[in-house]
Amino acid sequence: QKKHRRNTTLISLGGGVIGDMTGFAASCYQRGVAFIQIPTSLLAQVDASIGGKTAVNHPLGKNMIGAFHQPAAVIIDLATLETLPAQEFACGMAEVIKAAMIADAEFFDFLLQNKQKIQTHDRQTLISMITRACEIKADIVQRDETETGPRALLNFGHTFGHAIETCLGYGSIKHGEAVAIGMVLATKLAAQADMIAPNIIEQLTDLLHTFHLPTSLPEKAESKALLAAMKLDKKNIDEN
């Protein structure tokens, strides 16, 4: 109705859901127009706004309908975190911890050593933390923009996490909380396969508990339903 052309630029001002919706709309309209991400939640700042993944959910699975469409710019203002609810901040920390787990042991130690400053929103600590988390994701995305190889690392905890969200119903559990549980489950699986040292499980769960994130499956999550949802995961390469 407004007769916008291909030179239109959409602005996404909000959290991860707003960013996904705006990015997906931008990827479709006129076969693709520019958009700018201004993420206002910690989760969106360190993860959802970076990398060009845009999608909407489907009853059969999380983020099943979408496209790769890179933002023209990402603008982060720490002031938006001042009014962010504590639970939402914690959910963002799940993605920060994920970044440390997959790529940077020193960053993981930084989170352990500065957890009190993070909880009190010390400005310089937040700047260092958000910057490093963004660097980790951007580096991986640059090497594999469309997720055919190394970018799969960024899905640590998400195969379980997305299945948990699907089975419990979207909105029943927050994305960051589901990812936190998923990381613990994936780490336990890796330890059972002798891929990592068992003490990493304790280090991970302790750090997640610091930010009041869950580390075990809700009682309502049934194993059969979780496995069925995981079989529909986009990263699967066969039916098993």
Write down the catalytic residue from 3, 31, 82, 240.
Answer: 31
Which one of 151, 165, 174, 177 is the catalytic residue? Answer: 151
Q: Does the annotation mark 132 as catalytic?
A: no
Q: Which of 162, 165, 174, 177 is catalytic?
A: 162
- Cβ atoms of 12 and 35 within 8 Å: the answer is yes
CA dihedral 149, 55, 37, 137 (to 10 degrees): -20
Catalytic residue among 147, 165, 174, 177: 147
The yes-or-no answer on residue 88 being catalytic is no
> Is 31 designated active site?
yes
Q: How far apart are CA 239 and CA 79, in angstroms?
A: 46
147 belongs to the catalytic site: yes
114 given a catalytic annotation: no
Strand stretches in the chain, DSSP E: 9-14, 34-39, 53-58, 61-68, 73-74
Would residue 162 show up in a list of annotated catalytic residues for this protein?
A: yes
User: Taking the mean position of all CA atoms in its chain, how far away is CA 97?
Assistant: 10
Identify the active-site residue in 62, 69, 95, 165: 95
Is 121 considered catalytic here?
no
Tell me whether residue 212 is one of the annotated catalytic residues: no
Q: Is 137 a catalytic residue?
A: yes
Q: Is 158 a catalytic residue?
A: yes
Catalytic residues, which ones?
31, 53, 95, 137, 147, 151, 155, 158, 162, 175
